[in-house]
Amino acid sequence: MMWRAVFMLVLVSALSHQARAQGAAAASLNDQQRLGQRLVVQHCSLCHVRASITGDERIGPELSRASASGNDDALRETISNGTPRMPGFKVLFEPAQIDAIIAYLKTVPPQTASAAAPPH
């Protein structure tokens, strides 16, 4: 039971950190990108955002405009069909939602190596 509380605390902290970091940028997003942002926060952040409280590494890679080398078709394939370590979302998301995720990711700059490194 305790692990659930700790897990939820870590998840909420990671999501709120991401939301604060992207708050100013969100105002400049169009409707499609805002939908993509919401879907990323709801469905992708658990694995693709570092747990800020514990400093734990992400399960999946950082998501940004550099994901899949910025290749829309590769992103669409990965989101739809998954990878050996990630489930596919083609049953959950409509094609327009996958396009929205891709549109949003194109607005997210990659982190620098120093920003991505955990604090010492």
Q: What is the pLDDT along the chain (120 residues), one digit of tens a residue?
A: 544 544 444 444 555 555 555 555 567 999 999 999 999 999 998 888 876 566 667 788 889 999 999 999 999 999 999 999 999 999 999 999 999 999 999 999 998 543 444 443
pLDDT, residue 3, reads 47
Q: What structural domains does the chain harbor?
A: 2-116 (1.10.760.10)
The token pair that represents 120 in the structure block = 């010492």
pLDDT, residue 81, reads 97
pLDDT, residue 5, reads 45
3-state secondary structure the chain: CHHHHHHHHHHHHHHHHHHHHHHHHHCCCCHHHHHHHHHHHHHHHHHHCCECCCCECCCCCCCCCCHHHHCHHHHHHHHHHCECCECCCCCCCCHHHHHHHHHHHCCCCCCCHHHHCCCC
pLDDT, residue 10, reads 47
